[in-house]
Every structure is written in structure tokens, then in C-alpha cells.
């Protein structure tokens, strides 16, 4: 059960309009966004950031989704993990790769670029400070824009998982 109550979507015109925008862009009002509606400015900023990360970046979707799934696993954010499996499959991540993510270091399911993404994701998520020997293997595979977008994706989804888990947002039904 969520630690903070979900707001009344009809409390005022600002919340009504924002809820309608979220439904239009996301297809439905997930519990994460319902919770965020407690603060319309935060909900709006969140929507803009995550829309940019998920829908407007040059970074290939398979790298984005591998990173998101790994962040969710490291942080124990089951809602985030379960909600991104369909996105990962759609972006070309195989079920074999998804199954291997908990112990990706031991798996042969990932190529050099994917391994570099996973090592970077782990370092950013667990240690914050990323050593050169983790960052440098990304350089042959990604340009400056893609590196920026990958870093922003990992950072953004650490935000998502930490928020979901801290306030115990309920799974969507």
C-alpha cells in the first residue's frame, strides 16, 4: 500500500488537464503518475524528462531498455522491472538476455556494447562514481550524444526506482 495517498484527479483544473495529458501520451494514468499528481509541477517535469529519455533520444532502444531493466533489478524496483519487459522485447532485447540480466557478467548473451552498458549501469547505480576502466569501453560504441543520453537514462531510472520504492507506489492492476 502506498505511503502517500493518491490525489483526487478532479481536485482542480490544473490536475485534470495534466492527468488528461498523461493519459494521451502514456495511454493510461499509471499509479506512478497518479502519485506524482500530488505535485503538478513535479509531475509535469517528470513527464517531460521521461518523455525525452524514452521517446526523443538517438540512443538505440535496446540499450535504453537493458539499462532500465538493470537499474530496476539493482534497486529492487519490481514495478519498474515488470513494466519495462514488454518495452525491452519490443526494442529487440531477447527473453534470453532478460533472463540473464541478474547475473549478466557470467552470461554470453550480451555483445561488447551491451556489456559496456551494463557495467556502466551497475557502476552508476551502485557506486555513483564511475571509474575510467568502466566508462572507456563505452567510447567505441557510442558518440557524445548517445553517451549523454545513456547517462541521463540511467540517472532518470534511478530516480524512478527510488521514488517508486520510497513511497511504495502500488502495482498497476
92-128: pLDDT as tens digits: 999 999 999 999 999 999 999 999 999 999 999 999 9
Q: In angstroms, rounded to a whole number, what is the distance separating the alpha carbons of residues 102 and 98?
A: 8
Which cell numbers hold the place of 12?
Answer: 482542480
Asked whether residue 172 is domain-assigned, the answer is no
User: What's the pLDDT score for residue 158?
Assistant: 98
Residue 45 pLDDT level (bands cut at 50, 70, 90): very high
Residues 43 and 80 in one domain: no
Q: In angstroms, rounded to a whole number, what is the distance separating the alpha carbons of residues 169 and 164?
A: 5
Residues 49 and 76 in one domain: no
Domains identified in the chain, total number: 2
Q: Which of 5, 27, 55 is the last residue of a domain?
A: 55
The whole-angstrom distance between residue 99's C-alpha and the CA centroid of its chain comes to 18
Asked whether residue 137 is domain-assigned, the answer is yes
pLDDT, mean of residues 57-72: 98
Q: In angstroms, rounded to a whole number, what is the distance separating the alpha carbons of residues 124 and 67?
A: 11
Q: In angstroms, rounded to a whole number, what is the distance separating the alpha carbons of residues 102 and 156?
A: 20
Asked whether residue 5 is domain-assigned, the answer is no
Q: What is the pTM of this model?
A: 0.94
Residues 92 and 43 in one domain: no
Residues 43 and 69 in one domain: no
CATH code of the domain containing 117: 1.20.1290.10
Contact indicator for 26, 20 with CB cutoff of 8 Å: no
pLDDT, mean of residues 153-169: 97
Distances (CA, A) of 45 to 42, 135, 156: 5, 29, 12
Residues 46 and 84 in one domain: no
Helix (H) / strand (E) element for 71: namely: helix 61-75
Asked whether residue 1 is domain-assigned, the answer is no
Contacts of 27 (CB under 8 A, 6+ apart): none
Tell me the residue range of the domain where 37 lies. 13-55
pLDDT, mean of residues 58-85: 97
Q: In angstroms, rounded to a whole number, what is the distance separating the alpha carbons of residues 80 and 78?
A: 5
Asked whether residue 6 is domain-assigned, the answer is no
User: What's the pLDDT score for residue 11?
Assistant: 87
Amino acid at each position: 500500500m502506498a505511503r502517500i495517498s493518491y490525489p483526487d484527479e478532479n481536485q482542480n483544473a490544473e490536475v485534470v488537464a495534466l492527468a488528461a495529458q498523461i493519459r494521451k501520451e502514456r495511454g493510461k494514468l499509471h499509479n506512478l503518475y497518479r502519485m506524482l499528481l500530488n505535485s503538478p509541477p513535479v509531475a509535469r517535469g517528470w513527464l517531460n524528462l521521461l518523455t525525452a529519455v524514452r521517446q526523443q533520444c538517438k540512443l538505440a532502444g535496446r540499450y535504453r531498455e537493458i539499462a532500465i531493466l538493470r537499474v530496476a533489478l539493482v534497486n529492487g524496483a519490481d514495478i519498474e522491472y515488470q513494466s519495462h519487459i514488454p518495452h525491452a522485447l519490443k526494442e529487440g532485447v531477447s527473453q534470453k538476455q532478460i533472463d540473464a540480466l541478474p547475473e549478466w557478467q557470467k552470461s554470453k548473451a550480451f555483445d561488447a556494447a551491451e556489456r559496456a552498458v551494463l557495467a556502466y549501469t551497475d557502476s552508476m547505480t551502485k557506486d555513483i562514481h564511475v571509474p575510467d576502466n568502466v566508462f572507456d569501453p563505452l567510447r567505441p560504441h557510442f558518440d557524445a550524444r548517445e553517451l549523454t543520453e545513456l547517462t541521463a537514462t540511467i540517472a532518470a531510472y534511478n530516480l524512478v526506482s527510488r521514488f517508486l520504492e520510497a513511497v511504495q507506489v502500488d502495482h498497476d492492476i
